[in-house]
Structure 1
Amino acid sequence: MFGINTWKALRQRGVMGINQRNGDYVLMYNDRHLYPLVDDKIRTKNLALSAGIRVPEMYGIIDTEQGISTLDHIVETHGDFVIKPAQGAGGDGIMVISDRFEGFYRSSSGRMISPEELEFHISGIISGIYSLGGHRDRALIEYRVRSTDLFDRISIGGVPDVRIIVLKGYPVAAMLRLPTRQSDGKANLHQGAIGVGVDIATGVTLSGTWHNLKIDRHPDTAHPVAGVQIPDWQECLDLAARCYDLTGLGYLGVDLVMDKHKGPMMLELNARPGLNIQIAIDDGLVRRCQIVEKHLEKLGDDAEAEPVARRVALSKQHFAVARLPDQVITTAQ
């Protein structure tokens, strides 16, 4: 339990706690009637497509037990694919198929999966065991993202993603989430992935966090996690800022993936983004959010008319780190 001195120190650093996040940001800026736009991945995907935002291609949807038999038809022209619950959270229920062998499916971790096991997994998704609130759900079958070679040195068994926190359309913090063996190839911090802070101004990675501990190297590859230039960073920031206009949610976590062939794509949105990002960026979210809020006060009634380019420019100006790593890696080595 934190002592009073620790609590005061965290407050001075502008560190956001869960109660403050819920009361001052989630409840303040996110109307509950908008939550379904981001809690259902299929609805989010269709919303993004209508706005011209790149997302992983959807191959099909299975929403009944009888529909499970259509899986072969859905994936017959796709050697690899991803199955995920439409209303899942935290990476639970996601199954990544990398190829097939002698009638079996091979997962991204190399495990062989029988057709019966795959059908049983889909049945579990439909029954709601992975969904928010345990409600009946739908299984989404979609394109498997191929990670850029740049991340091979600092990622194991899966595809890294980028989480950007956006306040009223202004990116305020970003981190790269790196899969590990412990996370079974998933970019989920609670399952053992690494969170690496990203400089908003440049897209260069900083230090990392693993199980809430500060780290400098990936535990599996031993390579430094700092100093990697995330490709297409300006496009990533623009895309994240546009997600506010897309949903109307004022406090939002935007998850992006860097596909080897297709570039940045929006993976999903979160109306209640976690707080571990503060450890990764070594800075408090409250401090950064208050900078945006003061800017919005100055704009007054003109705030909603502020274009994406100007929002992103302000974020890059205010949230640049003082010192970047000495060496910046821009290509696979």
Structure 2
Amino acid sequence: MSEMLMDFGKMFGRRKQKAPLSPLTMTPFEEILGINMRNALIAKYNPRIAIERARDKVAAKVALEAAGIACTGTVAVIDDHQKLNAFKPTRDMPDSWAIKPARGSQGDGILLAVRREGDVWYKGSGTPLTEQDVMHHIQKVVDGGFSGDTASEDAALIEPLIIADPTLADLVPEGLPDLRVICLHDEPLMAMLRLPTNESDGKANLHQRAIGAGISLETGRIIRALVLGEPITHHPDTGAKLIGYEVPGWDRVLELASKCGPAIGLGYSGSDIVLDKNEGPLIIEVNAHPGIEIQNICQLGLKAQMAAVGEDFR
């Protein structure tokens, strides 16, 4: 295990090292960030008000845009029944769009339309969506049906549908790939690309058999890719080669990710980024409780990466 971690440490590189790992000598096991230590870091660096701001997609977008950070666009925000009653999808919505609960999580409650014919929209699967279907879904969002907590109401965030950068779109059979970049303050620590598969139903969800691909911070290239823990070199559906693929606009990706935590008030954050065909890298969400599975994808320890940028674990 020691040799394996050493090899991947060389391959991925550590960006802008500010300090030695630590005055303490870390074993390979000690380089790994466990869930208890992650929770301690969140308690240390993420104030409750900032966590709530990050969780609310509308509030987070307001904070990010105020800081000049490029985000996905906004068609409408419907946060009460008065706005809901005044809203008319056939008049107010574009041909392709995404509806997201402001306080939803893990993709729950997200509805996508990829095209429109007359007064009917169609999902990627070809399922039609009438104006009544759309209104029913928005009402369920506003009523808190996807908020995941005891909140009685939520807000429906309606955005233009992202069109993936062509080089990324060529890798996957359908769906929208995204990037997750973990940062401590303004320092990117680790990054992965999440690629949909047929088995993941076009969603970039690792637990539903999407691909997790570790990316070198220094080069922006994929070094390692896995599906449910099994290493792969090519996409199982498209046959596209993954290892060595270079993410477009990588420097811009890291620049955006480094600004997100400070803009929202988080010291430890996970930024989710999409690569739009026309706009380039855009922030879709900032997570105040980023998971630790990324360490298995990248085969690196987050604790060691934090120590490399100055965090003292003594």
Give the TM-score normalised by structure 1.
Answer: 0.80
Aligned residue pair count: 288
Q: Does the aligned pair in 2 maintain the 1:109–1:157 contact within 8 Å?
A: no
After superposition, what is the alpha-carbon deviation per residue over 1:294-328, rounded to whole angstroms, capped at 9, x for unaligned?
A: 5899xxxxxxxxxxxxxxxxxxxxxxxxxxxxxxx
Which position in structure 2 is the counterpart of 1:274? 291
Q: Does the aligned pair in 1 maintain the 2:54–2:286 contact within 8 Å?
A: yes
Q: Does the aligned pair in 2 maintain the 1:212–1:276 contact within 8 Å?
A: no
Alignment partners' CA distance in 2, 1:239 and 1:162? 12
Which position in structure 1 is the counterpart of 2:120? 104
Note closer, same or farther for the CA distance 1:120–1:10 as it changes in structure 2 (3 Å cut).
farther
Alignment partners' CA distance in 2, 1:173 and 1:225? 18
Alignment pair present for 1:46 and 2:62: yes
Alignment pair present for 1:60 and 2:76: yes
Note closer, same or farther for the CA distance 1:27–1:212 as it changes in structure 2 (3 Å cut).
farther
Alignment pair present for 1:82 and 2:92: no
Find runs of 4+ consecutive structure 1 residues off by over 6 angstroms.
Answer: none
Q: Does the aligned pair in 1 maintain the 2:100–2:111 contact within 8 Å?
A: yes
Gaps of 5+ in 2: 1-25
State the superposition RMSD in angstroms: 2.3
Q: Which moved more, 1:206-215 or 1:278-287?
A: 206-215
After superposition, what is the alpha-carbon deviation per residue over 1:93-151, rounded to whole angstroms, capped at 9, x for unaligned?
A: 11111111243211133322232222222222122222141422111111211101101
Gaps of 5+ in 1: 1-8, 298-333
Give SS of 2:289's match.
coil
Note closer, same or farther for the CA distance 1:221–1:127 as it changes in structure 2 (3 Å cut).
same
What is the CA distance between 1:29 and its match in structure 2? 1.4
Alignment partners' CA distance in 2, 1:269 and 1:22? 17
Note closer, same or farther for the CA distance 1:294–1:114 as it changes in structure 2 (3 Å cut).
closer
What is the CA distance between 1:73 and its match in structure 2? 5.3
Which position in structure 1 is the counterpart of 2:162? 145
Which residue identity lines up with residue 186 of structure 1 in the other structure?
Answer: K
Which position in structure 2 is the counterpart of 1:219? 236
Which position in structure 2 is the counterpart of 1:133? 149
After superposition, what is the alpha-carbon deviation per residue over 1:209-246, rounded to whole angstroms, capped at 9, x for unaligned?
A: 22233332223223222211111111111111111321
Alignment pair present for 1:31 and 2:40: no
Which residue identity lines up with residue 38 of structure 1 in the other structure?
Answer: A
Which position in structure 2 is the counterpart of 1:196? 213
Q: Does the aligned pair in 1 maintain the 2:89–2:134 contact within 8 Å?
A: no
Q: Does the aligned pair in 1 maintain the 2:189–2:306 contact within 8 Å?
A: yes
> Would you tell me which structure has more helix in proportion to its own residues?
1
Which position in structure 2 is the counterpart of 1:264? 281
Give SS of 1:165's match.
strand
Alignment pair present for 1:290 and 2:307: yes
Give SS of 1:37's match.
helix
Alignment partners' CA distance in 2, 1:192 and 1:64? 36
Q: Does the aligned pair in 1 maintain the 2:70–2:256 contact within 8 Å?
A: no
Q: Which moved more, 1:97-106 or 1:166-175?
A: 97-106
